[in-house]
A and B are shown apart, each in its own frame.
Chain A
């Protein structure tokens, strides 16, 4: 029983992203750098974004945290790359709804992040999953204000 519930959280897609993170690293010529941490648990993320012509051309991250936070960061970079800034922000809001356990707007292709839907059943872990997304929102938000 317990292991079944665990499997809802630790889906194999998540574990794969944790073991083989996509877009790990730093964009040297990045236009945006965001450092964010989760003060209650110590998870940290260093996110670099390259945004040109209102499009997220590239996104990379480095960080230290649990499987959920790092897998979520990997998936986030995958999703936002190549998207317009407003689409990236829309994805973030869809993801936020998903974490709240709400029905999500399925007009957007969520790709692997659908695997994180189970996190909403583990309230203590939601903040792990949202860290990278908050960093991205902060980064592109700052950019769009310029």
Chain B
């Protein structure tokens, strides 16, 4: 486990909620921010704020260096070949929509197939539904194994030579499942399809190597990995991005503008229309520095251990069901559960009264809720600042909730 000293970097954790010290177990929704990220953003606005790529003046240079410096940090973080392959966007949702609208519209036709799975987040379902409807393409789902994992056999059955796009989440935000992206990418490529990865729940928790995964696109968000909201990344292989059209047009992304025709800047800027998310990128860069100092391997191990401890302790509670793989090595640091028939909202309210923040609802995964045959679930998700003591508090809170609703449910 990581040292509890990490908690000192997160000012927000040092507070009481409803008379109890805060236990924040909702990092899969958004992580908390360390002081150095908050300060990087504040320093940018306090000292360096200016627009990028155009100022002859000193502040313009500082802002550009900060923004482009962050791009290099991201490149190194996911081991991309070149910063040309790193496009800053609002978040994972925007990145996946960009792939669907730019690559998808140009390459998917009538009768072609797009393959996703039952465990996807809405942001990796709806862009493809819309594309399929527009093009008369077929959206296909890979079914899940009973424990909420994917089998490569079933993936092979679904992907065909008509498949143009395979888009799958690396880590499930509900089941915690870690999917075999590298192997799925191989299958996709053998059929001439591109592999798109929703990396929103992976980037914060494990070392990403887009070259090893050999994925074609990889999308993730800054705010789930200690960075600010409003910044995310689309990685794409250069040869694909070069042949893709931007979907937003305006300032910043142009090369030459005539009265009736214009040309685009080179990569990556042709996809970054308008004044970019400068402070967000700088904040994300600071978050990457912070995570790399701890070490992604250490973070991954910490979460496996904490998830293992949580599942062990939570299993002590009669009537508590856990969804997803039960082997902690097969899952990321989150546990989705239901407590008897007590509605997850009621569980979450009781926990909140005891200072414990968990998520309750459908987790933006309605098709998965249907697959699980539940209307909603509660979820405790862990990050670097969580400890075994947090898990103990959760278990105590769950016992209180169970007792409180004992006569009702």
A contacts, CB < 8 Å to B? 1-3, 5-6, 9-10, 15, 18-19, 40-44, 64-68, 122, 124-125, 128
Cβ of B353 under 8 Å from chain A: yes
Q: Which residues of the partner chain B approach A10 to less than 8 Å between Cβ atoms?
A: 346, 404
25 contacts between A and B (CB under 8 A): A1-B19, A2-B353, A2-B354, A5-B353, A6-B353, A6-B404, A10-B346, A18-B408, A40-B361, A41-B345, A41-B360, A41-B361, A42-B361, A42-B362, A42-B376, A44-B375, A65-B345, A66-B344, A66-B345, A66-B346, A67-B343, A67-B346, A67-B408, A68-B345, A124-B349
A41 engages B362 (CB within 8 Å) = yes
Cα distance A6–B369 in the bound complex, in angstroms: 28
Q: Which residues of the partner chain A approach B346 to less than 8 Å between Cβ atoms?
A: 10, 66-68
A3 to chain B, nearest CB (A): 8
B contacts, CB < 8 Å to A? 18-20, 343-346, 349-350, 352-354, 360-362, 366, 369, 375-376, 400, 404-405, 407-408
Cα distance A64–B369 in the bound complex, in angstroms: 14
Q: Which residues of the partner chain B approach A41 to less than 8 Å between Cβ atoms?
A: 345, 360-362, 376
B270 to chain A, nearest CB (A): 35
Cα distance A127–B321 in the bound complex, in angstroms: 27
CB contact between A9 and one of B344, B349, B361, B407 (< 8 Å): that residue? B349
B375 engages A64 (CB within 8 Å) = yes
> A7 — nearest CB in chain B belongs to which residue?
B404
A2 engages B375 (CB within 8 Å) = no
Cα distance A30–B318 in the bound complex, in angstroms: 42
Cα distance A122–B351 in the bound complex, in angstroms: 13
Q: Which residues of the partner chain B approach A67 to less than 8 Å between Cβ atoms?
A: 343, 346, 405, 408
Q: Which residues of the partner chain B approach A122 to less than 8 Å between Cβ atoms?
A: 349
A19 engages B408 (CB within 8 Å) = yes
B19 engages A42 (CB within 8 Å) = no
A116 to chain B, nearest CB (A): 14
A45 to chain B, nearest CB (A): 12
Q: A67-B408, A68-B346 are in contact. List 20 more A-B contacts (CB 8 A).
A: A1-B19, A2-B19, A3-B353, A3-B404, A5-B18, A6-B404, A40-B361, A41-B345, A42-B361, A42-B362, A42-B376, A43-B375, A64-B375, A65-B343, A65-B345, A65-B375, A66-B345, A66-B346, A67-B343, A128-B345
Q: Is the interface of A mostly helix, strand, loop or mixed?
A: helix
Q: Which residues of the partner chain A approach B369 to less than 8 Å between Cβ atoms?
A: 42
Cα distance A40–B408 in the bound complex, in angstroms: 24
Q: Which residues of the partner chain A approach B360 to less than 8 Å between Cβ atoms?
A: 41
> A38 — nearest CB in chain B belongs to which residue?
B361
A15 engages B408 (CB within 8 Å) = yes
Given contacts A2-B19, A6-B404, contact A125 B345 (CB under 8 A): yes
B46 to chain A, nearest CB (A): 33
Q: Which residues of the partner chain A approach B345 to less than 8 Å between Cβ atoms?
A: 41, 65-66, 68, 125, 128
B349 engages A2 (CB within 8 Å) = no
B154 to chain A, nearest CB (A): 27
> A40 — nearest CB in chain B belongs to which residue?
B361
Q: Which residues of the partner chain B approach A1 to less than 8 Å between Cβ atoms?
A: 18-19
- Looking at A2, A10, A44, A124, the one whose CB has the most chain B CB atoms below 10 A away is A2
A61 to chain B, nearest CB (A): 16
> A63 — nearest CB in chain B belongs to which residue?
B375
Shortest beta-carbon contacts, A-B, top 3: A66-B343, A66-B345, A2-B353
Q: Which residues of the partner chain B approach A42 to less than 8 Å between Cβ atoms?
A: 361-362, 366, 369, 375-376
A2 engages B20 (CB within 8 Å) = yes
Cα distance A43–B352 in the bound complex, in angstroms: 20
B397 to chain A, nearest CB (A): 10
Cα distance A44–B350 in the bound complex, in angstroms: 22
- Looking at A5, A65, A66, A122, the one whose CB has the most chain B CB atoms below 10 A away is A66
Cα distance A128–B344 in the bound complex, in angstroms: 12
Cα distance A20–B345 in the bound complex, in angstroms: 19
Cα distance A2–B352 in the bound complex, in angstroms: 9
> B19 — nearest CB in chain A belongs to which residue?
A1
Cα distance A6–B18 in the bound complex, in angstroms: 11
> B400 — nearest CB in chain A belongs to which residue?
A3
Q: Which residues of the partner chain A approach B344 to less than 8 Å between Cβ atoms?
A: 66
> B407 — nearest CB in chain A belongs to which residue?
A15
